[in-house]
Amino acid sequence: MGHDVRSPRGPRCIALVGPFQSGKTTLLEAILARTGAIARAGSVDAGTATGDASPEARAHKMGVSLTAATTNFMGETYTFLDCPGSIEFANDMRAALPVIDAAVVVCEAEERKLPQLQIILRELEDLRIPRFLFLNKIDKASKRIRETLATLQPASRIPLVLRQIPIWNGELIGGFVDLALERAFVYREHMASEVIALEGGNLDREKDARFSMLEKLADHDDALMEQLLDDIQPPRDAVFDDLARELREGQICPVLLGSALRENGVLRLMKALRHEAPGVAETAARLGVAADKNALACVFKTTHLQHGGKLSLARVLAGKLDDGATLQSSGGGSGRVSGILAANGANDSKRPAAEAGEVVALGKLDGIKTGDTLSTAKTAPSALIALAPAAPVLALALAAPDRKDDVKLGQALQRLTEEDPSLTVIHNADSHEIVLWGQGEMHLRVALERLQDRYGVSANSHSPAIGYQETIRKPITQRGRHKKQSGGHGQFGDVVLEIKPLPRGSGFEFHEKIVGGAVPKNYIGAVEEGVKDGMQRGPLGFPVIDVQVTLTDGSYHSVDSSDQAFRTAARIGVSEALPQCQPVLLEPIYQVEIVCPTDATAKINAILSGRRGQILGFDTRDGWNGWDCVRASMPESEIGDLIVELRSATAGAGGFARQFERMAEVTGRAADQIVAAHRAAA
């Protein structure tokens, strides 16, 4: 669509956000089609959308990572960031939000999705980002618009201000009245709406709804308030200026209507963005960017292409960034830009430079990560954004089918976690497992698919080992003796160990009370190592804790004794002693804090009780209207797939954090079953 006219605000960056399956990718397609960036809109269902074109997204018919696409409208450049709606893939949205100029929150009149909408609006509110609400699928609406607005308002901490009202054609919505413009439009599928006369009942409804809109604007404009009190019609330009100012200052959230699938309401949305959304200078000021001649950019997404190396998706916030420029990073790294690509979905093209406001992909910045602030200055810039990934809630233990592929698996996981910092890899020293932590079932499934599709690495997966341990109830004194004779030097070590239980949480203590050199001092360290060896796997099959071992006596041979001999003797002594000490199984107990919509709290309590959880109490969630926070104490073995049940009970909105509390005894049949299962798997 384009005239080559530079916007005084520079290229703008707009995020499309909203609950899962609200139509964000479909809206992006409609925008690209209506602005001439693509010949016709693709379809999510048919797998032809420009939006999220990854194999995983198309297989699951859902956004699983952020997609950027750039278009021109009335001579101005816009980059749209299509952000996944599922809470499991929210990290991409969180990383991008600080650098955008405004957000379009795509939602529908569905009460079930209110908690998800509230989570997204809360993120925008906390970051002070101007936002429009695009009420999608309006062609399928059954409620009156004021009822819908009353339903949605509790999700927002600022007033939702209706900018348009629908024109009803029987039971269907056939068009809208623009309250600021005071014009009526009839929808035409995949075409611009047609202006019609504003008359009759539509005119009466328009006057009433427009007055209601002006009243909300007047809350922040004394001059407008006086005009309304004096029954004076404010100038149309003044109304538009008020709408723009109050949007940017975070005082209102304008609500627009449309149907992305039919491309209805798209041009009105674009015109609202053009007139009212702030530009890069205002966004830079919001982030605290000082005036400087150097180029400054923020990286909000990292991608590893199968054959093209690493790309860092960044927004230039100030100055001009040239290809080949050397950049310093707030993360301490530095790098030379090797290629600037336009961010345009799958159709990237090379650029010699990028100006303030543009979103571009920077090539081969190996020392740079998501969240870094980059500058062409000689010194590293201060970080403009702080990213704190959500706590992981679900884990899988991974193993390469062939040991020779272990290194390949490790490298692929490192790249996955660089692309998506809400994935975490832990190497569990006790269970010798590689554990991949993520934000939910689909999040981990997509990670495994990416390992296979993008990096050619297959991995076997299973539930991670639970951190069972064991301890003892009864003290004992035990001799450990190792004697072996075979040509030349033999092996001889002899120790007497006093073994006794310690209070829970004490860990392991080693002491020695050797008198008269019964065990030479240079072998005592080897004895301690041997004791630790013997405690790695107790009689029940698990590491032994909360035990004190004291070396009280022993003997040695001047020729055959050695560190190894005494280490072996100590291990034998411990291994023979522990079965006689009344071993008892211990399981890890965690304190769990669950956040959920209030109407799901009773379900959550039932879920926790069914998982051996001890509910410690609950409160309203501080600062969150209609949410609760439930605290419980739970065994680790019951937390494994808790998030799956929790999300099911909360329409995908609930979450939890956990913290280790203590080890607790497991007795009777439950303990026997755990030990038997462990032995069978060993």
* Residue (of 681, 142, 250, 203) closest to 464 by Cα position: 681
Q: What is the pLDDT of residue 345?
A: 45
Strands 12-17 and 76-82: parallel
Q: What are phi and psi of 118, to 5 degrees?
A: -65, -40
Residue 392 has, within 13 A of its CA and on its CB side, a CA count of: 19
The full DSSP string for 524-565 is: HHHHHHHHHHHHSS-TTSS-B-SEEEEEEEEE--TTT--HHH
Q: Span 557-584, mean pLDDT? A: 96
Q: What is the location of CATH 3.40.50.300 in the chain?
A: 12-284
Residue 236, SS3? helix
Burial of 561 (0-12, 13-18, 19+ CB in 10 A): buried
Burial of 217 (0-12, 13-18, 19+ CB in 10 A): buried
One-letter amino acid identity for 510?
A: F
Q: What is the location of CATH 2.40.30.10 in the chain?
A: 295-375
d(CA 539, CA 85): 49
Q: What are phi and psi of 663, to 5 degrees?
A: -100, 135
State which fold the 469-581 domain adopts.
Ribosomal Protein S5; domain 2 (3.30.230)
- Res. 346 pLDDT band, cuts 50 70 90: very low
d(CA 301, CA 314): 7
pLDDT tens sequence across 649-672: 999 999 999 999 999 999 999 999
* Residue (of 134, 66, 82, 132) closest to 106 by Cα position: 134
Q: What are phi and psi of 547, to 5 degrees?
A: -135, 140
Q: What percent of the chain has a predicted confidence (pLDDT) above 90?
A: 80
The CATH label, of 3.40.50.80, 3.30.70.870, 3.40.50.150, 3.30.70.100, for the domain at 394-462 is 3.30.70.870
User: Which tokens belong to 265?
Assistant: 């309401």
Note whether 117 and 49 are within 8 A (CB): no
Task: Specify the DSSP class assigned to residue 111.
Answer: G
Task: Please list, in sequence order, all residues whose beta carbon lies within 8 angstroms of the beta carbon of residue 574, skipping any fewer than 6 positions away.
Answer: 478, 480, 497, 499, 530, 531, 533, 534, 535, 549
pLDDT tens sequence across 572-621: 999 999 999 999 999 999 999 999 999 999 999 999 999 999 999 999 99
pLDDT tens sequence across 203-216: 999 999 999 999 99
One-letter amino acid identity for 412?
A: A
pLDDT at 5 over 70: no
- Res. 4 pLDDT band, cuts 50 70 90: very low
One-letter amino acid identity for 235?
A: P
pLDDT at 236 over 50: yes
Note whether 24 and 85 are within 8 A (CB): yes
pLDDT at 487 over 80: no
Residue 264, SS3? strand
User: Locate tokens 């075979």: which residue?
Assistant: 486
The CATH label, of 2.40.50.140, 1.10.287.130, 3.30.413.10, 2.40.30.10, for the domain at 295-375 is 2.40.30.10
The full DSSP string for 177-225 is: EETTTTEEEEEETTEEEEEE---HHHHHHHHHHHHHHHHHHHTT-HHHH
Q: What is the pLDDT of residue 461?
A: 95
pLDDT tens sequence across 58-87: 888 888 999 999 999 999 999 999 999 999
Domain over 585-681 is classified CATH 3.30.70.240: yes
Q: What are phi and psi of 14, to 5 degrees?
A: -125, 130
* Residue (of 563, 577, 573) closest to 495 by Cα position: 573
Q: What is the pLDDT of residue 51?
A: 67
Q: What is the location of CATH 3.30.230.10 in the chain?
A: 469-581
Q: What is the pLDDT of residue 3?
A: 34
Cα pseudo-dihedral 277, 281, 282, 287, rounded to 10: 130
> How far, CA to CA in Å, does 481 sit from each of 259, 387, 476?
82, 56, 16
Superfamily for the 12-284 domain? P-loop containing nucleotide triphosphate hydrolases (3.40.50.300)
Q: What percent of the chain has a predicted confidence (pLDDT) above 70?
A: 97
* Residue (of 530, 546, 635) closest to 583 by Cα position: 546
pLDDT tens sequence across 240-251: 999 999 999 999
Q: What is the location of CATH 3.30.70.240 in the chain?
A: 585-681
